[in-house]
Amino acid sequence: TQLLEQSPQFLSIQEGENLTVYCNSSSVFSSLQWYRQEPGEGPVLLVTVVTGGEVKKLKRLTFQFGDARKDSSLHITAAQPGDTGLYLCAGAVRGGSNYKLTFGKGTLLTVNP
């Protein structure tokens, strides 16, 4: 069973601050996805990283996949209240012709105005 540990579990910051959340595992993943979930809604896919060392940017969000494809980070610059939500990472492992997704428990981010 692949386990994904996300840290921190909770994060409360002021508008304009920077932050980084982490997603770590002892397992190697074929790819890793980041989602944001707002209360009462389903998770929304933000990005997929596939190659070890890969960095992807989505406006103020920067995603990095570790060189060994076991970990990932999400950095937010100048956070805004609209960034508030639960950030989930999910690692994909290929088994035969199928991919299985394993989710972390998430980081609950609150950005205060």
Partner 1 sequence: KAGVTQTPRYLIKTRGQQVTLSCSPISGHRSVSWYQQTPGQGLQFLFEYFSETQRNKGNFPGRFSGRQFSNSRSEMNVSTLELGDSALYLCASRRGLDTEAFFGQGTRLTVV
By CB under 8 A, name the one of 44, 55, 58, 78 that touches partner 1: 44
Q: How far is the CB of 93 from partner 1 (least distance, A)?
A: 10
Rounded to whole angstroms, the Cα distance separating 95 from 20 reads 31
Mention every residue, 6+ apart, whose C-beta is less than 8 A from residue 2.
25, 27, 29, 91, 93, 102
Q: Of 11-19, 27-35, 53-61, 73-81, which part binds partner 1 (CB under 8 A)?
A: 27-35
Nearer residue to partner 1 within complex by CB, 33 or 64: 33
By CB under 8 A, name the one of 15, 58, 100, 112 that touches partner 1: 100
Q: Where are the beta strands (DSSP E) in 3-97?
A: 5-7, 10-14, 19-24, 31-37, 44-49, 55-58, 61-65, 71-76, 85-95
- Asked if 55 interacts with partner 1 (CB under 8 A), we say no
The contact set with partner 1 (CB under 8 A) reads 30-31, 33, 35, 40-45, 48, 88, 90, 92, 97-106
